[in-house]
Structure 1
Amino acid sequence: MLLKSGKVITKLLIQTRKMHLLHDKTYINGQWISAASNKIFEVLNPADGSIISTVPDMDIEDTQKAIESAANAFETWKNTTPKERSYFLRNWYNLLIKNRDNLAKIITLESGKPLPEALGEVNYGNSFVEWFSEQARNVRGEIIQSSTTTKKILVEHYPIGVAALITPWNFPHAMITRKVSPALAVGCTCVIKPAEDTPLTALALLELAEEAGIPKGVLNIVTSGRKNAPKIGKLLCESSLVAGISFTGSTQVGKILYKQCSAGVKRLGLELGGNAPFIVYNTADVDKAVEGAVTAKFRNCGQACVAANRFLVQEGVYDSFVGKLVDRVKDLKIGCGFDSGVRIGPLINRAQFEKISNLVGDAVAKGAKVVIGGIPAPKIGELFYEPTVVVDVNKNTMLFSEEIFGPVIGIVKFKTEEESLDIANGTDRGLAAYFYSEDIKQIFRVNRNLEAGMIGVNEGLISTVEAPFGGIKESGIGREGSHRGVEEYTYIKYTCIGNLE
């Protein structure tokens, strides 16, 4: 299997290098450029450690140029009509559709996710460009009745200015399009800082944006390795030319950015970490719950902010659920994302691999039992970890209290509905939650009491462009997607026209 995968990857690397979408330079002010220092860093394939490409390792000097480029472009872009912005976004969407197969290959190469999942991400990410191309012409103000006959009250939306977008590695296409599209739709310009693990997808997206005719300076991208990332983030937060920050990533980093933005009281959108409960009640359809669990947990090898994290199963269906779940997990093929039938790819990097190993080790040391998996899969590759189910998880374990971001299910048995809600809500995170029940009264009762920004009821896949995406508590501020997505990039101007006698 390893030899076959190696040959497949080598062949795809050769093919990909011939793609016009694969760049070794970054894009600022309509030009493909190197870092001012000429430094580069390597982008690795997590499936086998091979070097896919190199990209510029930029610093705050390069970032300042990107910010100034976006600020200059804003003076023109803000005066374009909604119809014009809609046209550019639609052109971009059409090119994204045309190139979706190549985009998916790049995603699989640099993130490791199975190719069918990469295609799913491309379709999902493209949907935001389509959606906001339509929303551009539907941002509406108000005329409000005044308390006097001599005044007229007008309320309008205006673009905030330059938006700095800091995106994660786990969905390198969708996290960019979900932020860029509403920003462009309302007249903002952008500086994009993609994750150091997956910059190639971001560069491919900007290649297609350029082909779509989006004017120079409207979109700019800053690539950097881990060493320069904190300084770049600080500059984006503190620059007086940047009007707003949108960040998707860990709560820890989000808090740092939150503090740094306070100096300029910037518009801030944060989509941070989760600790999603997945509750199975006695009233559930167990077969549906098992399928939902596999979807909610193992997509992208568990590396998703909305992935189910704490599995709570009521004692009446506990044995049935665990037995069927283990049988289902046995069928999950692990391997290179380009191999047919693979459901579980590699973890993104060594740090993530070691984290998963430590979480499972800590749980077992505190009395938990591994039913299936629980070990690395070195015969496939250094960053592969077998899909795992752990039972009898102690609530004091790291596996239960921390966001896992890996292919591990930890299960806790509970007795009553009240107990399940106490456990589910006993966290400072509140991004997503899932529960299964066929009792309609219980569905509305539990839904009302769960503390999360997004809830899946008898459903393990909840993300869609039409719905507002975001959490509560320390899982973030603001919403992405839906008609509300544009609100993060506009400010409201109230105008009072008086003396209308």
Structure 2
Amino acid sequence: MGVEFERDDYRFLEELGLAPENLGCYGGGVWRANGPTVTSINPSENKPIATVREASLEDYEESMKACAEARRMWMLTPAPKRGEIVRQIGDGLRAKLPLLGKLVSLEMGKILPEGIGEVQEFIDMCDYAVGLSRQLSGSIIPSERPKHAMMEVWNPLGIVGVITAFNFPCAVLGWNACIALVCGNCVVWKGAPTTPLVTLATTKIIVEVFERNKLPGGIFTCVCGGAEIGNAIAHDVRIPLVSFTGSTKVGLAVQSIVHARHGKTLLELSGNNAIIVMDDAVLPLAVRAVLFAAVGTAGQRCTTCRRLIVHEKVYDDMVERLLKAYKQVKVGNAVQENILCGPLHSKLSMASFEEGIKKIKAQGGKILTGGSVLSGNFVEPTLVEISHDAEVVREELFGPVLYVFKIKSLEEAIELNNSVPQGLSSSIFTQNPETIFTWIGPTGSDCGIVNVNIPTNGAEIGGAFGGEKATGGGREAGSDSWKQYMHRATWYLSYSQITVCLDFSLLNSIDHPSFLSSELITLRPSEIGDLTKMNRNYLLFLLLLKPHRAKFILLTLLH
């Protein structure tokens, strides 16, 4: 099956630096690849786009050597300077927004507005990270001991591994890499094996910024590959943190490997998200939200709504409205206009959908609409009535399948929401303040994302993204998620005696030409006047300038 790169509607790929045949590993400023060749497939047509030669383990090792060498330089670069580099990455993405967004749509299969929106999310993360680069602050903590200070400081981990999934082949890198970079970490990225062109096009935009600024190529590394490369990242002791997005099964395996070497993981795994519609809900609003949350991206988001929990008083009305809405959904080629539901991503996704429908029927489910394969990778959005304790309901069926349940009370609704192993996103539609505050409180939803009168998807970058239980517990993007990419050091300082040292002969371990004097002066706090009027919690680094005596005076704080 030959590639169709020369098609007129594929010409835009050249503007992204792509070719019919591509090398799938960038590290240390060099493109290389000696692994197997894979073919990128357009899921809307099941036809090849281009080929990518994946990295071998030798390619990975060469790239990691360059990454390790760049680590110290990048850690010591001031955070605002690192933020400036990320700002330029955002500008590079802006310049290629329509093109890269179209590629996301073409290769992943999400509709064009979603593809462009995904790249825009990466750009927004760049903007967010630039501001964050000036706010990576620690804490000053009151000490119980006289003439002592206690503080927390945050330092880079060094290298962060990022393994992303096919459904968000661009944005999830942005959630991780933008924050990791401004925090002073080098990044090693393994994109999904089935979206290698998005991985390469995104990498080319990023590394152009590093090359233009004459920075080491090892700061950002891209390694296309399958399980072998992912396994290498998980086992690599040079990578203190591995961020993994994917299934719970694989995520737990990654976690086990990384934790065995005392590394850290940031996991964003399966979701099984519910929307609750109470008897006082605005139904037209709820219908629109449920439709997009369940059908958008062909049900291939981790935040897709998979369970609809409806109060018995409005159940029939809600289901009738939803069935009418489902009949209006246009399924088709993702890059075409006026399409709401694109294809499933791969033949594996198709097989999973068909197996899921078989399980639903075998476990007593009643299909209200949909449930069939149309053609190629296209399926009908599906609405199902089924018992909430059916085993299939506890699983994440990665497709446009929505289960509907009837409840009598808020307590029952919350119990159903919390009854599955996963805990990513949730939402309730109501106008009752007491219901709202119960829902978001300690006896409400047990998910990491708890919405009111909006869908389960569409999270903003300013908040921390992630979930509980089998979803993994990780947090990406906004709020204080940046702390996961750094390590905390608590330090204690005594300033009971300050020695001002001007004797170069006593400082043989410091190779600095500025220590030219040969005079030693010792001052106690009571002897240095106004200096002691400063809040002693802030006596971190003191530099007394006496140009007529010496260029520098080194202060050492003695117990």
TM category (shorter chain) comes to over 0.9
- Once residues 355 and 468 of structure 2 are traced to their aligned partners in structure 1, the CA distance between those partners, rounded to angstroms, is 28
Q: What is the aligned partner in structure 1 of residue 433 from structure 2?
A: 440
User: Among residues 359, 371, 376, which one is paired with 2:373 in the alignment?
Assistant: 376
> Structure 1 stretch 269-278 or stretch 396-405: which is displaced more?
396-405
Q: Does 1:498 align with 2:494?
A: yes
User: Among residues 84, 109, 127, which one is paired with 2:81 in the alignment?
Assistant: 84
Report the residue type matching 1:92 in the other structure: I
Report the residue type matching 1:137 in the other structure: R
Q: Does 1:385 align with 2:379?
A: yes
Q: What is the aligned partner in structure 2 of residue 218 from structure 1?
A: 219
> Structure 1 stretch 449-458 or stretch 50-59: which is displaced more?
50-59
> Structure 1 stretch 135-144 or stretch 102-111: which is displaced more?
135-144
Write the mapping of 1:19-418 to structure 2, written as runs, cut at 5 A. Answer: 19-20=16-17, 24-37=22-35, 39-213=36-210, 215=215, 216-224=217-225, 229-378=226-375, 382-391=376-385, 393-418=386-411
Q: Does 1:458 align with 2:459?
A: no
- Once residues 139 and 390 of structure 2 are traced to their aligned partners in structure 1, the CA distance between those partners, rounded to angstroms, is 52
| Secondary structure at 1:477 match in 2 | coil
- The share of aligned pairs that are identical, in percent, is 27
Q: What is the aligned partner in structure 1 of residue 523 from structure 2?
A: none
| Secondary structure at 1:420 match in 2 | helix
> Structure 1 stretch 20-29 or stretch 115-124: which is displaced more?
20-29
- Once residues 158 and 315 of structure 1 are traced to their aligned partners in structure 2, the CA distance between those partners, rounded to angstroms, is 54
Q: Does 1:421 align with 2:419?
A: no
Give the superposition deviation at 1:479: 1.1
Asked which structure has the greater CA Rg, the reply is 2
Would the aligned equivalents of 1:193 and 1:223 in 2 still touch at CA under 8 Å? yes
Report the residue type matching 2:471 in the other structure: S
- Once residues 363 and 79 of structure 1 are traced to their aligned partners in structure 2, the CA distance between those partners, rounded to angstroms, is 56
Would the aligned equivalents of 2:251 and 2:269 in 1 still touch at CA under 8 Å? yes
Give the superposition deviation at 1:8: 12
Report the residue type matching 2:371 in the other structure: G
Give the superposition deviation at 1:398: 4.8
- Once residues 440 and 379 of structure 2 are traced to their aligned partners in structure 1, the CA distance between those partners, rounded to angstroms, is 34
- Once residues 461 and 76 of structure 2 are traced to their aligned partners in structure 1, the CA distance between those partners, rounded to angstroms, is 27
- Once residues 371 and 127 of structure 2 are traced to their aligned partners in structure 1, the CA distance between those partners, rounded to angstroms, is 41
Q: What is the aligned partner in structure 2 of residue 486 from structure 1?
A: 482
Give the superposition deviation at 1:125: 2.0
| Secondary structure at 2:340 match in 1 | strand
- Once residues 362 and 483 of structure 1 are traced to their aligned partners in structure 2, the CA distance between those partners, rounded to angstroms, is 40
Give the superposition deviation at 1:21: 5.2
- Once residues 115 and 463 of structure 1 are traced to their aligned partners in structure 2, the CA distance between those partners, rounded to angstroms, is 19
Give the superposition deviation at 1:131: 0.6
Would the aligned equivalents of 2:24 and 2:55 in 1 still touch at CA under 8 Å? no
| Secondary structure at 2:476 match in 1 | coil
Give the superposition deviation at 1:248: 0.8
Would the aligned equivalents of 1:437 and 1:443 in 2 still touch at CA under 8 Å? yes
Would the aligned equivalents of 2:107 and 2:195 in 1 still touch at CA under 8 Å? yes
CA separation of 1:128/1:342 partners in 2, compared to 1, >3 Å: closer, same or farther? same
Give the superposition deviation at 1:493: 1.6
Would the aligned equivalents of 1:315 and 1:415 in 2 still touch at CA under 8 Å? yes
Q: What is the aligned partner in structure 2 of residue 4 from structure 1?
A: none
- Once residues 32 and 172 of structure 1 are traced to their aligned partners in structure 2, the CA distance between those partners, rounded to angstroms, is 22
Deviation track 1:71-107 (CA, whole Å, cap 9, x = no partner) reads 1111111110112101101111011111100001110
> Structure 1 stretch 15-24 or stretch 323-332: which is displaced more?
15-24
Would the aligned equivalents of 2:331 and 2:341 in 1 still touch at CA under 8 Å? yes
- Once residues 165 and 52 of structure 1 are traced to their aligned partners in structure 2, the CA distance between those partners, rounded to angstroms, is 25
- Once residues 360 and 102 of structure 1 are traced to their aligned partners in structure 2, the CA distance between those partners, rounded to angstroms, is 36
Give the superposition deviation at 1:144: 2.2
- Once residues 115 and 331 of structure 2 are traced to their aligned partners in structure 1, the CA distance between those partners, rounded to angstroms, is 16
Give the superposition deviation at 1:62: 2.1
Report the residue type matching 2:151 in the other structure: L
- Once residues 478 and 169 of structure 1 are traced to their aligned partners in structure 2, the CA distance between those partners, rounded to angstroms, is 19
Would the aligned equivalents of 1:29 and 1:66 in 2 still touch at CA under 8 Å? yes
Give the superposition deviation at 1:371: 2.1
- Once residues 408 and 364 of structure 2 are traced to their aligned partners in structure 1, the CA distance between those partners, rounded to angstroms, is 20
| Secondary structure at 1:246 match in 2 | strand
- Once residues 63 and 374 of structure 1 are traced to their aligned partners in structure 2, the CA distance between those partners, rounded to angstroms, is 43
> Structure 1 stretch 44-53 or stretch 59-68: which is displaced more?
59-68
Give the superposition deviation at 1:416: 2.2
CA separation of 1:35/1:429 partners in 2, compared to 1, >3 Å: closer, same or farther? same
Deviation track 1:37-92 (CA, whole Å, cap 9, x = no partner) reads 4x311111111111111112223222222222211111111110112101101111
The RMSD of aligned alpha carbons is 1.9
Would the aligned equivalents of 1:167 and 1:193 in 2 still touch at CA under 8 Å? yes
Report the residue type matching 1:62 in the other structure: D
| Secondary structure at 2:491 match in 1 | strand
Q: Does 1:471 align with 2:467?
A: yes
Would the aligned equivalents of 1:21 and 1:207 in 2 still touch at CA under 8 Å? no
| Secondary structure at 1:344 match in 2 | coil
Matched residue count: 486
Would the aligned equivalents of 2:28 and 2:63 in 1 still touch at CA under 8 Å? no
Report the residue type matching 1:181 in the other structure: C
CA separation of 1:292/1:208 partners in 2, compared to 1, >3 Å: closer, same or farther? same
- Once residues 114 and 278 of structure 2 are traced to their aligned partners in structure 1, the CA distance between those partners, rounded to angstroms, is 29
Give the TM-score normalised by structure 2.
0.84
Deviation track 1:195-215 (CA, whole Å, cap 9, x = no partner) reads 011121121111111222363
- Once residues 142 and 130 of structure 2 are traced to their aligned partners in structure 1, the CA distance between those partners, rounded to angstroms, is 31
- Once residues 452 and 61 of structure 1 are traced to their aligned partners in structure 2, the CA distance between those partners, rounded to angstroms, is 41
CA separation of 1:211/1:396 partners in 2, compared to 1, >3 Å: closer, same or farther? same
Report the residue type matching 1:217 in the other structure: G
Give the superposition deviation at 1:335: 0.5
Would the aligned equivalents of 1:278 and 1:293 in 2 still touch at CA under 8 Å? yes
Give the superposition deviation at 1:399: 4.1
- Once residues 500 and 199 of structure 1 are traced to their aligned partners in structure 2, the CA distance between those partners, rounded to angstroms, is 59
Q: What is the aligned partner in structure 1 of residue 521 from structure 2?
A: none
CA separation of 1:8/1:327 partners in 2, compared to 1, >3 Å: closer, same or farther? farther
